[in-house]
Each structure stands twice: as C-alpha cells, then as structure tokens.
Structure 1
Amino acid sequence: MVVPEHGPVLVSGRFEPAEEERIRAAAAGAPVDFVRRLGDRAELLAAATVIAGSPNRAELAAASAVRWVHSWAAGVNGDLAAGLDEHPAVLTSSTGNGAIPLAEHAMMLMLMLNRDAPRWARAQAGHRWERFQHGELNGLTCGIIGLGHCGLDLAAKARAFHMQVLGVRRRTGLPCPGVDAVHPPEDLHLVLAESDFVVVTAPGTPATAGLIGEPELKAMKESAHLVVVSRGGIVSDRALLRALTEGWIAGAGLDAHGEEPLPESSPFWELPNVIVTPHNGATTEATRRRGLEVFVDNLRRHVQGRPLVNVVDKSAGY
C-alpha cells in the first residue's frame, strides 16, 4: 500500500517513551510532536493537521490547518462547547475506554447503598461490632439510562448479580445482550417506576440535559436508589436534593455532579442517604491505555485513508 504524505500530528499529554514510539510508528513517517499542553508551542499548533487533545477556543482558532481532532475523553460535550461543534474538523473520541471501571463503580455504589455500607464504616471507626439486617441485589430490577459501552457492560454485571435489567436507549433496534427489555426514551417513566436501582450511564448531550427532573424522580419507587456515573447535568440537582430530603426516593450514589468539583457548601456531602465520589469511577491506568489504543488505531487508519472509528456525531453530541 502506498501511504500518502500527511501533515504534522500534535499530541498533548504525558506518555512513556514506548508509547511515543507506538504513536510515531502509527503515523508512518508523518511528523509527530508531543507537548504537555496544546498551547505550549504556538508554531506547532498552527501547523498541525491532526491534534490529539482538547483545544480551547483560542487554541482551536490558532490551529488553522487542523483536519482531525481526537479527544482523550469519552464524553465530548466540553470539546463541542469549545467550538468543535461548528468546526469543519472531524472529531473522534475515546468513548468506551472507561466503560469497564464505570460499570464496576456503578455496581459498587449499588452494593454500598443496598447494604448500607457507610454504616459499617461508621461502626469500624467507632470500634463497634454492629451487625444488622441488610439487603441483597438478587431479584431486584436495575434500570439503565443509556445503553452505550458502559450501560451494556453494567447490564452484564447486574445480570451476574441475578438482577432483572431494563434499559432506555435512543436506538432501540441494536443488540443489547444482558438486557431483559429495551425501551425508547418515551418509556422513561415506565422504566423508572419499575426499577429498584436507576443508573444513569447516558452521555451529556443537549438531549439528555435535565432529562431527570422532579416528575421523573417522583415516578421512581420510594424504596429506589439513583446512581449517576456518566455526566452531571442529566439529573437536576435541585430536584434530586428535594427527592432525597423529602423521601421521594431512598438514596443516591453520585460520581458525576452538576457542578464539579462539588463545592464544600453542597448539601449532598452531608446527606445520610447519599454516597459521593469525585467523578473518579474511570480513573484507572487501563482506561488511559484503552484510550491510547483508540488513537493509535485511528492514526493508522488516517494515514492509510481508511474510515476512522469513534467519529462523533456533532449534532447528537456523541
């Protein structure tokens, strides 16, 4: 195969020497420059035809030659908001790289809420041998809002815990192994009403912003729990605070928040029926490695003139 000549590739981030060599090899002779931050070298930014990173508005404006931007993130709402929504460059993402640890994190939060694990932590801190009757996930229903990479991995894990699994997704005709019933967004309230755990794994897009508000939280069982591991802003913080303090639902496990970092003054920190984690569910070395694999594969495809994977539909937001 004759590989066409390609322009400079600018890669932001921290990489081991072996990883840099893999990226250079995938570029097949195209010049590759590595920077910690995209704005560090203005002349490289202006010349780059490919950028790996998330340029802000000023950096994007300076990158006059760029034709393809790859985001190291799985969710690209920040990239689109920085101007890539209207930019002619193709945008790809690292979607799927954190699906496994996010699904694990959701299972952890469900187990902790179901068994009131914070009670054991408080007893341990007080050196108290405090046994009590707790729940089990077996036989409960898990409603997953968003059946992408994370949602489908979570479905498999929930089924392994002998849970019934319901799912909501925009494209209902696609295969969804591990899901007992797939519903369109119009059936959201039906899924909420039947679920003992509602897990939000949907991407942050204009269509999902504020998707779960007061009517949706009131549609849930009073004994149900809400778990949010994908993006903040999908659930209304104001409505959720009311739901948790007024007993509309039993509790929540929150890894993604409407405002991040979660302010010290946020009431969510102090609620006894809430577990807060700092948007940390997919912060693993394997997540980083899988994201690198996506870019290396796409860089090979780019120089060989083959279709890229994980291309973002800018109108849909993912």
Structure 2
Amino acid sequence: MKLTCAILDDYQGAALRMADWGKLADRVDVRTYRGHFGSEDEVAAAVSDCDIVVIMRERTPFRGTLLRRLPKLKLLVTSGMRNASVDVAAAAELGIAVCGTGSRSEPPAELTWALILGLLRHVPQEHASLRGNGPWQSTVGGDVHGKTLGVLGLGKIGTKVAAVGRAFGMDVVAWSRNLTKERAEAEGVRLASSMEELLEASDVVTIHLVLSDRTRGLLGEAELRRMRPGAILVNTSRAAIVDEPALLRALTDGWIAGAALDVFEQEPLPGDHPFRTLPNVLALPHLGYVTEANYRTYFREAVEDIEAFLAGAPIRTLTP
C-alpha cells in the first residue's frame, strides 16, 4: 500500500511545482493544504491518516500533544535544519523521524534591507498615494549614509546585512553574547561593549539572533527606552526576542520612530492587531525565507528526505 503525505501551509500553492514529487508517485500519495490550520484539533483532523507530513518552517507547531494524536505518522519533514515549534524529543519517544532541509541566508538578509529602506523612505505611503492619485510627494525620507547600523547577531544573515550597511556608507556596530572583537573586525564592523551601548548608538537596530531561553524577551521596555527617539527597530528573526507589549508602547508613545517587522508572536497576524494599522510600522507576512531559490531547496530536499526514509536510511535528521 502507498503511504500518505500531507504538505501543510502551502500558502502560494508552490510546493508541487518546486520539486520533482513524481519520484515518489509509485510509493506515496501527496496532498497539499494552502490554508492555515488555526488549532491543534484542525491539524489532527486533517492529517490523522498521514504517514508523512511536510511542514514549512514554524507555520504550524508540532508539539508533543499533537504528535501523540497522530498514530500513523512515521516521518516529519521541516524546511530548514532548526524548528523551535517541533518537539523533537517527543517525536523520538514516539518513533517518529524528524528530518530537515538546507536553507539560504541571502533571502532574509535581502528582505531586511527592503524593510529598512521601505520604512525610512516611506515607500508604502508614497506608493499608496501615487496609486490613489493623492499628493505628489508627501513625506521626507530618512537617510542611511553616515548613520549607525546596530546588528544584534553577526551570524550568516547578520554578516550579510552588515556588509550592505557598510556599502551604503554606514558605521556598523554589532553585538551578541558570544561575539568577539576579532570576529567583528574580520567583518569590518565594531564590537559594542554591551547591547545597551549598541541600542544607544544606533539609528537602525536590526535583529539576527536565534531564539533561545537567553534571547527570549531580550528587548523589553528598559532596552527599547535606550534607543534613540529617531531610531527604527527591524526584526526579521523571531518575534519573541522582543517583548510585544513593550514594543507597542514604544511605537505608540514615541520612544522610537518606527519598526519594520516580518515576524509575529501569532501568525497569521490577527486582523485587529495594532501592527496592521500603526502608521510607524512596516509589516510583512513573514516573507524572509519566501523566495524561489529557498523554496526549490526546501522541497527538493524534502523529496530527498522522503526517499532516504523509504530506503531505510534517513538523512538530515534532527535530534533532541
């Protein structure tokens, strides 16, 4: 008998055209879901008959409670090699293999700059005005040349973001708990002595840290108040790194000039959420990794993961 595979959260209906799923046709029946399931009950009802589930990043959590409701599940494939919303330990206990895929660091770095420039140059407002035959020029944009870019996290993505800042003529300063002066200097940036120093010195603060117990809530009220009133905060990393209520107060009370956001505590973002309407927020629906190159990598390697699993030799396995 064929196995059954479900691909979840295929918002754009892109999964099946981004890889050769025909390689599995004689062994696996594949179906996709474009809509998002908002509850664990909905997920369980949709995939309870599945032997394999393919998920996109952290769009749908697979906690232990959900995994225990899926007795047929043998293989869970996630895009990327890290997914904080999957209980890998519970999967191991239940005999469910969890495998990942490669991921490119260029797309989120590129989107970070789209957000920075879009917010500073008021691109959404001016575009809407032009489309609606409104005023011809109604805003005065901010500059990046000669300003200070603060990069929280100088990993693969942060390094690329910093390099563009340097190309724009910015003074780039970076900080993370394990970042050394030698590593920072190798990338042509200054090491801040503390996160507080970076926040106080920067005109643009951009976050590129991994979410962990140490970084969850890293930027709260005290930290946001250290930022310059004219500064902007950019988050294309993980929403939980910034305390959401504190950020909302910072934006509404003018502690900072604005925020550009691609990640949120709840996704999809509720229709009545203030981030959808605040005039000093530029928000996107978590598009950082959503590019053709990344999608082709994700789904091609998802097919490879399934083939390897069927052959009895799983690859790219995630362990607790």
Partner of 1:120: 126
Question: Unaligned regions of 5+ residues in structure 1, if any?
Answer: 1-7
Contact 1:228 1:256 in 2 (8 A): yes
1:284-307 per-position Cα deviation (integer Å, ceiling 9, x unaligned):
22221122355467678887979x
Partner of 2:189: 180
Report SS of the residue matched to 2:285.
coil
Measure, in 2, the Cα distance between the counterparts of 1:101 and 1:90.
28
Report SS of the residue matched to 2:135.
coil
Measure, in 2, the Cα distance between the counterparts of 1:281 and 1:72.
13
- AA at the equivalent of 2:212: T
Partner of 2:21: 20
Contact 2:211 2:240 in 1 (8 A): yes
Contact 1:254 1:276 in 2 (8 A): yes
Partner of 2:84: 77
Partner of 2:115: 109
Q: Which deviates more, 127-136 or 220-229? A: 127-136
Partner of 1:140: 147
Partner of 1:278: 285
- AA at the equivalent of 1:201: H
- The Cα shift of 1:313 comes to 6.9
Tell me how many residue pairs correspond in the alignment. Answer: 292
Cα 1:74–1:248 change in 2 (3 A) is farther
Measure, in 2, the Cα distance between the counterparts of 1:216 and 1:87.
42
- The Cα shift of 1:238 comes to 0.9
Partner of 2:215: 208
- AA at the equivalent of 1:155: A
- AA at the equivalent of 1:116: H
- AA at the equivalent of 2:135: R
Measure, in 2, the Cα distance between the counterparts of 1:118 and 1:233.
26
- AA at the equivalent of 2:110: E
Partner of 1:4: none
Partner of 2:67: 60
Measure, in 2, the Cα distance between the counterparts of 1:155 and 1:295.
31
Partner of 2:196: 189
Contact 2:50 2:73 in 1 (8 A): no
- Within-5 A mapping of 1:1-318: 12-13=6-7, 14-16=15-17, 19-21=20-22, 34-36=30-32, 45=51, 52-53=54-55, 55=62, 57=64, 60-61=67-68, 62=70, 66=74, 69-72=76-79, 76-80=83-87, 83-84=90-91, 91-94=98-101, 96-97=103-104, 99-124=105-130, 125-130=132-137, 133-172=140-179, 178=187, 180-182=189-191, 187-295=194-302, 314=320
- The Cα shift of 1:90 comes to 6.4
Contact 2:88 2:98 in 1 (8 A): no
Query: What TM-score comes out, normalization by structure 2 length?
Result: 0.72
Measure, in 2, the Cα distance between the counterparts of 1:215 and 1:87.
43
Contact 1:146 1:167 in 2 (8 A): yes
- The Cα shift of 1:111 comes to 0.7
> Please, what is the CA RMSD of the aligned residues?
3.9
Q: Percent identity?
A: 29
Measure, in 2, the Cα distance between the counterparts of 1:9 and 1:205.
35
Question: Unaligned regions of 5+ residues in structure 2, if any?
Answer: 8-14, 34-42, 56-60
Report SS of the residue matched to 1:159.
helix
Report SS of the residue matched to 1:199.
strand
Contact 2:234 2:261 in 1 (8 A): yes
1:173-226 per-position Cα deviation (integer Å, ceiling 9, x unaligned):
69566451356xx82222212221111232333332211110110111111100
Query: What TM-score comes out, normalization by structure 1 length?
Result: 0.72
